[in-house]
């Protein structure tokens, strides 16, 4: 088997990295469950006809074929039978809700952590295979507005529990943007949205040029679009600043009311973590109200690590309509940043807190009995691989960061960090809580 | 969006089913970690050239292509660049070990739970997308024999913690079979292995006929092959029974020694759960010593739910060789059986233990504050979706199996199962441990 080069765009972590990734998944899942969200998984494949609905994305799809498919199978030509890998967890959720609606209870609060695939050209933080962690609430016919505040609060609670230097969930409302652009006199607000979405990449000057070149914008309209996009407040003062721009429309007022409700509820619970940002556009996604993006302080170039919004029509079967509001963490991108800066590290690379030494292969059962006694009390344990000299067994533990070595013959346990060795009984010895499992901790600042 | 038919072979669970599936994954992971196994994940794709190594499997591969691939990319023609979905977790492990060997510590004890894909025709319990849960120990150059006993013990501990009617890990050794067949005078022992592997499906008579038709077997040889395949013992008596058949070879003796060591170690720790079964062949897999299969008592028709064995050469880069021993649970197949019999059920379908009632939208913040206080003490909580009449809010909880409804105005909590309502303080109220999270419990026997 020849040595293989890593596949670009398909990240794979060493055991330490996987501990960090699993920690992030566990924190997200625990917080989501504590707020009553149910975990589901959907199959990795969907019919191409479903996946290709969202205009722009189809060029990024991975299509499946069987290496030796039967020629008489329709799989390869009929797009409703041809399968592709899902590129997000929203399209599958919509399909899952329609397919299982009769067995689900609404509002359906679900979380979902799975890998998704996109055939994009890989770049820093852009992968072809990556984890998304999604949180959505789906209503049957209607969905109360307070969920628009609950979602960023749950996500902020998750992100607060991770070793990040800080973050900001930025919220806007499509109705604010649409109402404002229409009130200003634009004929096609989606074109304006698409161009304003480029702000972080190309800056206000270029956005202004594009608006003039590609829309019916006058210089005054450009000025007001850019002025509104600069409004970012942690409190409700965004409202006054919009009103100062002198644009009026019913839709704008409705959007400002909705945005104010979200910001007021979030500011009460998590001041400073959720702010109104009137530049947030979310490109061509089909959101109809609240939209979210999230940036890590000092890592804004990473792009949004947690985005989403409200869909009035997440799914519909023609008779019933299911509105939804959701947010999705780009989990692999976040983990990749945690590992490469690094922002996070682990206290050891293996689960075992104790290595039970083995004096000879004949007495291995005695070592195994000590290990079983410790394990039965919730302490992860390895038994030494060979009856090597104790010095070698201690090195085995040391290289893995296993803090304790147990000597069954002596009935003693050694903390190999301090060298302290004490009498111990496997049925009563207490492993210090901080040593019980590998812990994810903030990385020490590098020079 | 039209209503879609489920995709055959791509199972998807309702929330209750996912709770059972996650429980099985969690039990497996917890037991594996308690024995010092480190969790890893590998990418879902491998080059076709790697996946197609194992002869027979290539017809089942799913190959990826991009819907709109650049024609100048080599992806679609070069099999070392063309990607397929992995069909097991062993081929990826071998590649991972070679690729990252310089960063891993050996023996490398790893567990891995991921979906795998096979383009087979779906049948009962045979899926096209399914979870495997793998446990392997990989050595660098050499791997001590005691791991051959550790693996079935860890798997038996996992299976014992699940709501199964009972199970049996059956162990054999390739050297026993090969030594016996060669000692009997067979020229090609792999042909015999391949035919004996069909025993559970076609029975001894047909196996005998195939041996005569397709190998150089005499009637006496057939008789002895079938006699050996009938030996199944929970203790070391299998050895005498093999010796009674009067076949001798050095390889047979070596295999019997290895098998005896595994059975002796397992019988000491888990009597009756791990037995010697000299019919276990493991088809065409490239095992070189110990082999395992596992059957659920009363569900033998399901086939083996946990199989594996020892490879002398899991991976090699020409210079270094990495022997391994591993077992893999067909987790989706097992979960599917738990859900459809059913053998397992859940105490509720949502994580929340408490629903905090909402008296009016104006007082929603007070309800949210109670919810936050409970959540801060580790109790999963939902806040009511609307300020409906309390009767409706109680029905919301009841339909989801949420056991408690909290009334913030009254400062009371109601156990909606008993109807008992008591004064309570969110900063001190204790949720009974059995109500804290949904629990997976054995299903009541159906009539």
User: What span, in angstroms and rounded, lies between the C-alpha atoms of B166 and A156?
Assistant: 45
User: What span, in angstroms and rounded, lies between the C-alpha atoms of B366 and B356?
Assistant: 10
The band of B152, judged by pLDDT with boundaries at 50, 70 and 90, is very high
CB B379 within 8 A of CB B404: no
CB A354 within 8 A of CB A432: no
The pLDDT assigned to A2 comes to: 44
- Span A370-398, average pLDDT: 97
Contacts of A67 in chain B (CB under 8 A): 48, 52, 58-63, 84, 119
CA distance A216 to chain B (A): 34
What's the whole-number average pLDDT of chain A?
93
The pLDDT assigned to B6 comes to: 83
The pLDDT assigned to A70 comes to: 62
| Closest by Cβ to B351, choosing from A36, A95, A96 | A36
Q: Which of A60, A112, A56, A68 is nearest to A85 (CA)?
A: A60
Residue B74 has pLDDT above 50, yes or no: no
Contacts of A104 in chain B (CB under 8 A): 14-15
Which range among A34-48, A63-77, A376-390, B387-401 shows the weakest confidence by mean pLDDT?
A63-77
The pLDDT assigned to A67 comes to: 79
CB B63 within 8 A of CB B99: no
The band of B318, judged by pLDDT with boundaries at 50, 70 and 90, is confident
Q: Which of B260, B200, B256, B254 is nearest to B230 (CA)?
A: B200
- Span B102-131, average pLDDT: 93
- Span A49-55, average pLDDT: 75
Would you tell me the crossing angle of helices A189-196 and A199-214 to the nearest 10 degrees?
A: 150
CB contact under 8 A, A1 and B50: yes
Task: Select from A2, A8, A67 the residue whose CB has the most chain B CBs within 10 Å, as the one to mutate to test that interface.
Answer: A67
The pLDDT assigned to B171 comes to: 98
Place of tokens 């200003």: A184
The band of A281, judged by pLDDT with boundaries at 50, 70 and 90, is confident
Q: Give the residue on B whose Cα is nearest the Cα of A395.
A: B105
The pLDDT assigned to A282 comes to: 81
CB A129 within 8 A of CB A115: yes
Pairing relationship of beta strands A108-117 and A38-39 according to DSSP bridges: parallel
- Span B54-83, average pLDDT: 70
Contacts of A378 in chain B (CB under 8 A): 34
Q: B241 is written with which tokens? A: 């029974």
Q: A57 is written with which tokens? A: 């994305």
Q: A227 is written with which tokens? A: 């002025």
Helix runs in B185-340, H state only: 189-196, 199-214, 219-229, 238-244, 250-269, 331-340
Q: What is the pLDDT of residues A262-271, one digit of tens each?
A: 999 999 999 9
The pLDDT assigned to B60 comes to: 83
Contacts of A35 in chain B (CB under 8 A): 375, 380-382
A185 contacts: CB under 8 Å, gap ≥ 6: A216, A221
The band of B446, judged by pLDDT with boundaries at 50, 70 and 90, is low
The band of A240, judged by pLDDT with boundaries at 50, 70 and 90, is very high
Residue B58 DSSP one-character state = G
CB contact under 8 A, B67 and A85: no
| Closest by Cβ to A66, choosing from B2, B119, B372 | B119
CB B165 within 8 A of CB B296: yes
| Closest by Cβ to B42, choosing from A12, A40, A67 | A12
- Span B234-245, average pLDDT: 96
Which range among A35-39, B120-124, B288-292, B353-357 shows the weakest confidence by mean pLDDT?
B120-124
Which range among A435-439, B39-43, B77-81, B424-428 shows the weakest confidence by mean pLDDT?
B77-81
CB contact under 8 A, B351 and A34: yes
- Span A363-383, average pLDDT: 97
Residue B427 has pLDDT above 90, yes or no: yes
Contacts of B120 in chain A (CB under 8 A): none
The band of B1, judged by pLDDT with boundaries at 50, 70 and 90, is very low
Contacts 24+ apart (CB under 8 A), A162-166: A162/A24, A162/A27, A162/A334, A162/A338, A162/A344, A163/A338, A163/A343, A163/A344, A163/A440, A163/A441, A163/A442, A163/A443, A164/A296, A164/A297, A164/A338, A164/A343, A165/A296, A165/A297, A165/A298, A165/A299, A165/A343, A166/A296, A166/A297, A166/A298
- Span A198-204, average pLDDT: 91
Backbone angles phi, psi at B292, to 5 degrees: -130, 145
Q: What is the 3-state secondary structure (H, E, C) of A146-190?
A: CHHHHHHHHHHHHHHCCCCCCEEEEEEEHHHHHHHHHHHCCCCHH
The pLDDT assigned to B444 comes to: 82
Task: Select from A34, A37, A54, A286 the residue whose CB has the most chain B CBs within 10 Å, as the one to mutate to test that interface.
Answer: A34
Q: Which of A69, A140, A51 is nearest to A104 (CA)?
A: A140
- Span B274-294, average pLDDT: 90
The pLDDT assigned to B120 comes to: 85
CB contact under 8 A, B50 and A265: no
Task: Select from B6, B19, B22, B62 the residue whose CB has the most chain A CBs within 10 Å, as the one to mutate to test that interface.
Answer: B62
The band of A1, judged by pLDDT with boundaries at 50, 70 and 90, is very low
Percent of chain A whose predicted confidence (pLDDT) is above 90: 84
CB contact under 8 A, B41 and A13: yes
Residue pairs between chains A and B whose CB atoms are closer than 8 Å: 234
The pLDDT assigned to A120 comes to: 85
Whole-number CA gyration radius for chain A? 27
User: What span, in angstroms and rounded, lies between the C-alpha atoms of A15 and A22?
Assistant: 10
User: What span, in angstroms and rounded, lies between the C-alpha atoms of A406 and A413?
Assistant: 4
Task: Select from A12, A92, A117 the residue whose CB has the most chain B CBs within 10 Å, as the one to mutate to test that interface.
Answer: A12
CA distance B132 to chain A (A): 14
Would you tell me the crossing angle of helices A174-184 and A189-196 to the nearest 10 degrees?
A: 120
Predicted TM-score (pTM) of this structure: 0.95
Residue A76 has pLDDT above 90, yes or no: no
ipTM over the 0.90 cut-off:
yes
| Closest by Cβ to A37, choosing from B11, B351, B437 | B351
Q: A258 is written with which tokens? A: 């909705």
Which range among B54-68, B142-156, B307-321 shows the weakest confidence by mean pLDDT?
B54-68
First vs last C-alpha separation in chain B: 40
Percent of chain A whose predicted confidence (pLDDT) is above 70: 94
CB contact under 8 A, A61 and B40: no
């Amino acid at each position: 088997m020849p040595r293989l080069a890593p596949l670009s765009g398909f990240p794979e972590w060493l055991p330490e990295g996987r501990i960090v990734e699993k920690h992030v998944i566990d924190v997200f899942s625990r917080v989501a469950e504590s707020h009553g969200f149910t975990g589901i998984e959907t199959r990795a494949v969907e019919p191409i006809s479903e996946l290709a609905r969202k205009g722009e994305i189809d060029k990024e799809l991975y299509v499946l074929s069987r290496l030796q498919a039967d020629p008489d199978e329709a799989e390869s030509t009929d797009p409703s039978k041809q399968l592709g890998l899902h590129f997000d967890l929203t399209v599958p959720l919509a399909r899952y809700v329609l397919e299982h609606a009769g067995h689900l209870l609404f509002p359906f609060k679900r979380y979902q952590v799975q890998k998704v695939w996109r055939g994009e050209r890989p770049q820093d933080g852009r992968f072809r295979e990556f984890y998304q962690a999604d949180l959505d609430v789906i209503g049957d016919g209607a969905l109360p507005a307070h969920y628009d505040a609950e979602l960023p609060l749950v996500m902020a609670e998750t992100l607060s529990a991770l070793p990040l230097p800080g973050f900001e969930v930025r919220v806007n409302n499509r109705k604010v943007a649409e109402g404002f652009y229409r009130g200003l006199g634009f004929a096609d607000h989606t074109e304006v949205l698409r161009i304003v979405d480029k702000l972080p990449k190309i800056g206000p000057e270029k956005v202004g040029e594009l608006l003039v070149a590609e829309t019916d914008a006058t210089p005054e309209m450009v000025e007001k679009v850019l002025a509104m996009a600069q409004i970012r407040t942690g409190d409700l003062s965004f409202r006054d600043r919009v009103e100062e721009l002198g644009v009026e429309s019913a839709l704008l007022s409705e959007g400002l009311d909705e945005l104010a409700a979200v910001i007021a509820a979030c500011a009460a619970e998590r001041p400073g973590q959720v702010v109104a940002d009137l530049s947030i556009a979310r490109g061509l996604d089909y959101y109809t109200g609240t939209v979210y993006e999230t940036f890590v302080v000092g890592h804004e170039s990473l792009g949004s690590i947690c985005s989403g919004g409200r869909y009035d029509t997440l799914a519909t079967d023609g008779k019933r309509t299911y509105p939804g509001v959701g947010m999705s963490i780009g989990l692999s991108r976040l983990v990749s940043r945690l590992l490469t800066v690094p922002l996070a590290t682990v206290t050891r690379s293996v689960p075992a807190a104790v290595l039970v030494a083995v004096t000879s292969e004949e007495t291995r059962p005695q070592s195994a009995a000590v290990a079983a006694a410790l394990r039965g009390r919730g302490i992860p344990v390895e038994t030494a691989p060979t009856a090597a000299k104790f010095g070698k067994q201690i090195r085995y533990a040391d290289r893995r960061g296993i803090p304790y070595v147990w000597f069954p013959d002596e009935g003693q346990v050694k903390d190999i960090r301090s060298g302290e060795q004490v009498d111990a009984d496997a049925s009563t010895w207490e492993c210090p809580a901080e040593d019980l499992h590998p812990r994810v901790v903030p990385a020490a600042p590098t020079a």
